[in-house]
């Protein structure tokens, strides 16, 4: 005779163990992935039409002879092959030296220290906005599929999906910051003021809203699909047949069943958040890594480009891991990586 | 990769209109974030990089550093004077030798870190910029300089690579303390970039990834500026800049159309004359583009006035010979090309280029057709290329536009392909504008940069005028020699110069009286425009 409480604990323990095993497997898989992706980043960058010397010379490269250009390339270490540049980078990175960023004229570690936190903050705030809105809209639409609310929400999501994030961002600035003056237009603080938690929060609202809203359509529509799918399942039909009230069916059956695909969707959409962040950071002059990504690609700034790529890969792996772990936690039937 | 879709033209237009309406709608703009002695601007360039060797303040526009001389403001109908800053008086040739010049340095000046300024700092900075170990991106601007030496307690000697007449207009390099340049290495790794030390009126008090704050410093040798704090932020997208202007910023640079849309109610535009020119190379190595009659006909057959009116929105000037009204007495308006398509057709007819069945001319079985390469990422270059192609078609010449990347532009490619070229990096001597562009020295393979005389143009009369002007110290005689150059070039042009664009800035009218603008080089940013004279602004 096993007490119900003990059974619960047993189940929780086994789920924890499964999540732990999953995490270890993914991390082991992540290391070769990072190596391969960083290698690919160097190879692709080298094959691109950009020239790091042109980036270094900026607008003042007109007066150099070809011979002088070669000397410059050599002095700056731009004449090595991409594979040796990669080797140089990876052997430095292992010892904690991430190299020097040509695009920013600063050590890569310093660029990261100055910018990574701001992008993380923006990304986190943006994802909270996105998930909360997507849950509210997706659940509303999914539980009343075909109803008026569903039609309106789906239509808005489809339209919003078609508008480039750049336009959403600029429109938000013009409406909320310029016309209504509810929020500041840009930056971390008002011009010339020191950074405080209060000022950063005030300046974060609008970019986070824009970033979040730009991610909502996919998530909301995905959740709606998952819910309508669950509503049509045998388990849910059986629950209704047993005469359980709709509220109990929704919270006990439908939402847990729909949450696994929803979590997977969130995990998969994480990199999109980075893409969105690039645009949002440009419009709001938010000093994150989004801008740095584009700048480093244009300038063929290998060390910075590589670390940004690796961080992106890490985010994808972590996002998918978190999604799968959450799915295991809510749905006992899932066997990850099985 | 992370590239977002470009918004369509329609959307942009509606946004511009909307933003203009929004600006009008919000009534009088507020003061600059409150403080009356503060001015906030948005730049398009990367923040930081306050390093003279990587080009910061290269024409005396820095607020942190000073140079021996800077460009005088308010003179854009001639080459502006070189105003002594860290120098006392003009440079003098030693014993009349134009290859050896002496400059007296100012006494009683200190750097922002408290160390005294002296001739050794000038020498260290100039020698570093030409030292290959520093790999300075602006070294090529100083190819006339062999070395600099301290020649007394407050004098510096410049030893050149040959005789050169207009040295005063070449000594605009920002001066750093010699201690900061003691260890040679790639310029972009010097600590100066983030920790500038200069003799200028402002010191860097904050450098954040999103903001730079410059503060008027005590201990400055000159008059302390009235604008106490200068805040610089960065946004590279100009539509976003226009939107932010309405928020908490006081000024920025915009394209002419956008500037006009937002310059209402408390904002106004300031236009700076610039020698930011664009033109098409017509290489000798291309049997059509390099043909004398084709070169002349194209110069007569393109409507430069229409390009200025329609593409530059009126903010620019037609350019025929690279000598423009900016160069005062050296400029001869009679040698400019006037638009005359009929005469262009006659020139081609007389040279035996006959119109074929499809409207394209032919001679000896060769069609009057060649490619013109351009960088598609810059809309101005794209628009000028298309306008040129369309004008050329009207006189029977078929130019085919080809979009290229910078890496395509090898010397071999340039030798036979026409290209939409931009220039005007250091417009403070006529020599820097003309000599590398038209002297036949640079027509030879491997001489100079690939951009020097990119059409491989050879004209002995042009060579003669340019050489004589280079070593002529008397400004009146020098101007006459440059007028001779224009006459020689006009008779047998070597490329197709088109237009020069002005730079347009927008600023808030908040009680400040900015000084006049200075003639600007190709580069532009918030160090230029009305902010060139920031340290000399007064209250209205």
- pLDDT at position B131 is 96
Nearest partner of B123 among B86, B95, B90, judged by Cα: B86
| Residues of B with Cβ-Cβ distance to A62 under 8 angstroms | 140, 423, 425, 449, 451-452
A262 vs B: CB within 8 A: no
Q: Do A186 and B4 touch (CB under 8 A)?
A: no
Listed in sequence order, the residues at least 6 apart from A290 whose beta carbon sits closer than 8 Å to its beta carbon are: A119, A274, A277, A278, A279, A280, A281, A282, B2
* Location of structure tokens 């929803």: A262
| φ and ψ at residue A190, rounded to 5 degrees | -65, 150
What does the block give as tokens for B420? 């939409």
SS3 B89: strand
Sequence-distant (6+) residues with CB within 8 A of A234 are none
CA A334 to CA B370: how far, in whole Å? 66
**Chain centroid, CA B145 distance in Å:** 21
Measured in angstroms, the CA of A76 and the nearest CA of chain B are apart by 7
Confidence at residue A4, expressed as pLDDT on a 0 to 100 scale: 52
pLDDT score, position A320: 84
Place of tokens 């007389």: B350
A8 pLDDT band, cuts 50/70/90, is low
* Residues B200 and B465 sit within 8 Å (Cβ to Cβ): no
Residues of chain B neighbouring A63 (CB-CB closer than 8 A): 140-141, 143, 425, 436, 448-449, 451-452
Please answer yes or no on whether B7 and A167 come within 8 Å at the CB atom.
yes
Q: What is the pLDDT of residue B29?
A: 38
CB contact at 8 A, B407 and A51:
yes
Q: What is the pLDDT of residue B9?
A: 45
Share of chain A above pLDDT 70, in %: 94
- Of B2, B33, B139, nearest to A293 by CB-CB distance is B2
pTM of the model: 0.87
Give the distance between the most distant pair of CA atoms in chain B. 77
Contacts of A67 in chain B (CB under 8 A): 446
Q: Which residues of A touch B210 (CB under 8 A)?
A: 187-188, 285-287
Tokens 């504008």 label which residue?
Answer: B433
Nearest to B255 by CA among B518, B526, B503: B503
Closest by Cβ to A191, choosing from B26, B231, B406: B231
Give the pLDDT confidence score for residue B522 in this predicted structure. 83
Q: What is the pLDDT of residue B30?
A: 41
Judged by CB atoms closer than 8 Å, whether chains meet at A114 and B452 is answered as no
Q: What is the pLDDT of residues A266-321, one digit of tens each?
A: 888 877 888 888 889 988 999 998 878 888 887 888 889 889 888 888 888 888 88
User: Are residues B504 and B526 in contact, defined by beta-carbon separation less than 8 angstroms?
Assistant: no
For B456: left if phi > 0, alpha if psi spans -120 to 50, otherwise beta; the answer is: left
pLDDT band at A138 (very low <50, low <70, confident <90, very high): very high
Contact status of A287 with chain B (Cβ, < 8 Å):
yes
Q: Which string of DSSP letters, residue by residue, matches A127-143?
A: HHHHHHHHHHHHHHHHH
Predicted local confidence at residue A130, as pLDDT? 94
Backbone conformation region of residue B234, classed left if phi is above 0, alpha if psi is from -120 to 50, else beta = beta
CA distance A13 to chain B (A): 42
Is A40 an 8 Å CB contact of chain B?
A: no
Tell if the CB–CB gap between A186 and B140 is shorter than 8 Å. no
Touching check for A176 and chain B: CB below 8 Å? no
Residue B35 is predicted with a pLDDT of 65
Give the neighbor-by-neighbor strand order of the sheet with B366-367.
Answer: B354-355, B361-363, B366-367
Torsion over CA: A120, A121, A124, A126 (sign): negative
pLDDT tens figures, A201-259: 999 999 999 999 999 999 999 999 999 988 888 888 888 889 888 888 888 888 888 88
The pLDDT profile of chain B, 540 residues, written as one tens digit per residue, is 333 333 444 444 444 444 444 443 333 334 444 567 899 999 988 888 999 999 999 999 999 999 999 999 999 888 899 999 999 999 999 999 999 999 999 999 999 999 999 999 999 999 999 999 999 999 988 989 999 999 999 999 999 999 998 898 999 999 999 999 999 999 999 999 999 999 999 999 999 988 999 999 999 999 999 999 999 999 888 888 998 887 779 999 998 888 998 888 789 999 999 989 999 999 999 999 999 999 999 999 999 999 999 999 999 999 999 999 989 999 999 999 999 999 999 999 999 999 999 999 999 999 999 999 999 878 899 999 999 999 999 999 999 999 998 878 889 999 999 999 998 878 899 998 999 999 999 998 878 888 899 999 999 999 999 999 999 989 899 999 999 999 999 999 999 999 999 999 999 998 899 999 999 988 778 999 999 999 999 998
Candidates A46, A53, A60: best to mutate against B (most CBs of B within 10 A) is: A60
Query: What is the DSSP code (8-state) at residue A300?
Result: T
What residues of chain A, 113 to 152, have a C-beta less than 8 Å from chain B? 114-115, 118
Residues of A in contact with B46 (CB under 8 A): 103-104, 295
Question: Are A208 and B267 spatial neighbours (Cβ–Cβ below 8 Å)?
Answer: no
Phi, psi of B496 (to 5 degrees): -125, 85
Give the residue from chain A lying closest to B523, CA to CA.
A59
Residues of B in contact with A66 (CB under 8 A): 411, 446, 450
Contact of B284 with B456, CB cutoff 8 Å? yes
Q: Do the chains contact at A178 and B246, CB–CB below 8 Å?
A: yes
pLDDT digits (tens, 9 = 90+) for A172-182: 998 998 888 88
Shortest distance between the Cα of B448 and any Cα of chain A, in A, equals 5
């Amino acid at each position: 005779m096993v007490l119900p409480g003990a059974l619960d604990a047993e189940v929780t323990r086994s789920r924890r163990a499964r999540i732990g095993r999953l995490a270890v497997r993914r991390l082991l898989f992540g290391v070769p992935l990072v190596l391969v992706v960083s290698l690919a980043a160097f190879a692709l960058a080298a094959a691109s039409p950009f020239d790091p010397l042109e980036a270094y010379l900026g607008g003042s490269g007109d007066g150099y002879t070809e011979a002088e250009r070669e000397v410059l390339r050599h002095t700056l270490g731009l004449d090595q092959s991409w594979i040796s540049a990669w080797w140089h980078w990876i052997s430095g990175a292992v010892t904690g030296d991430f190299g020097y960023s040509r695009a920013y004229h600063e050590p890569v570690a310093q660029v990261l220290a100055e910018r990574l936190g701001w992008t993380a903050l923006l990304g986190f705030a943006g994802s909270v906005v996105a998930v909360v809105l997507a849950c509210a809209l997706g659940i509303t639409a999914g539980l009343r599929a075909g109803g008026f609310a569903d039609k309106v929400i789906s239509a808005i999501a489809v339209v919003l999906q078609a508008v480039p994030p750049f336009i959403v961002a600029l429109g938000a600035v013009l409406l909320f910051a310029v016309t209504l003056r509810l929020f500041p237009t840009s930056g971390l603080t008002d011009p010339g003021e020191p950074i405080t938690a209060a000022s950063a929060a005030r300046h974060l609202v609008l970019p986070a809203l824009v970033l979040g809203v730009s991610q909502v359509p996919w998530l909301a529509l995905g959740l709606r699909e998952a819910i309508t799918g669950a509503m049509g399942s045998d388990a849910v039909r059986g629950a209704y047949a047993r005469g359980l009230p709709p509220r109990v069916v929704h919270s006990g059956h439908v939402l847990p069943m729909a949450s696994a695909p929803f979590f997977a969707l969130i995990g998969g959409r994480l990199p999109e958040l980075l893409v969105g962040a690039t645009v949002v950071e440009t419009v709001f002059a938010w000093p994150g890594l989004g801008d740095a990504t584009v700048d480093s690609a244009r300038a063929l700034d290998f060390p910075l480009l590589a670390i940004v790529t690796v961080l992106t890969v890490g985010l994808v792996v972590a996002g998918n891991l978190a999604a799968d772990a959450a799915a295991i936690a809510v749905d006992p039937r899932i066997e990850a990586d099985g | 990769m992370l590239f977002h879709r470009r918004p369509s033209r329609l959307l942009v237009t509606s946004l511009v209109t909307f933003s203009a309406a929004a600006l009008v709608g919000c009534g009088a703009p507020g003061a600059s974030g409150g403080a009356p002695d503060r001015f906030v601007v948005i730049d398009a360039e990367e923040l930081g990089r306050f390093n003279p060797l990587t080009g910061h303040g290269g024409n005396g526009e820095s607020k942190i550093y000073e140079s021996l001389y800077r460009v005088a403001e308010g003179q854009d109908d001639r080459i502006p004077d070189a105003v002594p800053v860290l120098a006392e008086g003009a440079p003098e040739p030693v014993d009349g030798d134009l290859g050896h010049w002496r400059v007296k340095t100012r006494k009683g000046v200190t750097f922002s870190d408290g160390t005294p300024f002296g001739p050794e700092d000038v020498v260290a900075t100039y020698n570093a910029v030409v030292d290959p170990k520093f790999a300075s991106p602006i070294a090529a601007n100083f190819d006339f300089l062999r070395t600099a030496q301290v020649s007394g307690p407050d004098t510096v000697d410049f030893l050149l690579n040959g005789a050169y007449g207009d040295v005063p207009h070449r000594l605009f390099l920002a001066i750093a303390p010699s201690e900061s340049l003691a260890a040679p290495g790639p310029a972009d790794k010097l600590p100066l970039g983030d920790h500038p030390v200069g003799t200028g009126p402002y010191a860097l008090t904050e450098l954040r990834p999103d903001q730079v704050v410059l503060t008027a410093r005590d201990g400055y040798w000159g008059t302390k500026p009235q604008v106490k704090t200068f805040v610089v932020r960065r946004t590279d997208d100009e539509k976003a800049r226009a939107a932010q202007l309405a928020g908490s910023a006081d000024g920025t640079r915009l394209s002419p159309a956008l500037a006009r849309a937002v310059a209402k109610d408390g904002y106004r535009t300031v236009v700076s004359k610039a020698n930011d020119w664009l033109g098409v190379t017509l290489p000798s190595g291309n049997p059509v583009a390099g043909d004398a009659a084709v070169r002349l006909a194209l110069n007569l057959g393109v409507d430069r006035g229409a390009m200025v009116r329609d593409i530059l929105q009126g903010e620019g000037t037609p350019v025929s010979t690279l000598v423009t009204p900016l160069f005062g007495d050296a400029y001869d308006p009679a040698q400019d090309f006037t638009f005359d398509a009929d005469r262009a057709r006659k020139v081609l007819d007389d040279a035996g280029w006959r119109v074929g069945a499809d409207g394209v001319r032919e001679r000896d079985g060769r069609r009057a057709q060649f490619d013109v390469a351009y960088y598609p990422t810059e809309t101005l270059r794209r628009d000028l290329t298309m306008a040129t192609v369309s004008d050329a078609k009207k006189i029977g010449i078929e130019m085919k536009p080809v979009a290229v990347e910078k890496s395509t532009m090898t010397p071999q490619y340039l030798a036979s392909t026409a290209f939409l070229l931009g220039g005007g990096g250091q417009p403070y001597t006529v020599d820097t504008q003309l000599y590398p562009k038209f002297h036949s020295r640079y027509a030879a393979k491997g001489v100079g940069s690939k951009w020097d005389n990119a059409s491989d143009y050879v004209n002995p009369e042009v060579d003669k005028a340019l050489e004589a002007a280079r070593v002529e110290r008397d400004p009146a005689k020098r101007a006459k020699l440059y007028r001779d150059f224009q006459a020689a070039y006009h008779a047998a042009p070597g490329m197709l110069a088109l237009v020069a664009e002005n730079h347009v800035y927008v600023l808030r009218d908040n009680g400040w009286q900015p000084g006049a603008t200075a003639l600007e080089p190709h580069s532009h940013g918030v160090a230029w425009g009305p902010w060139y004279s920031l340290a000399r602004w007064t209250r209205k």
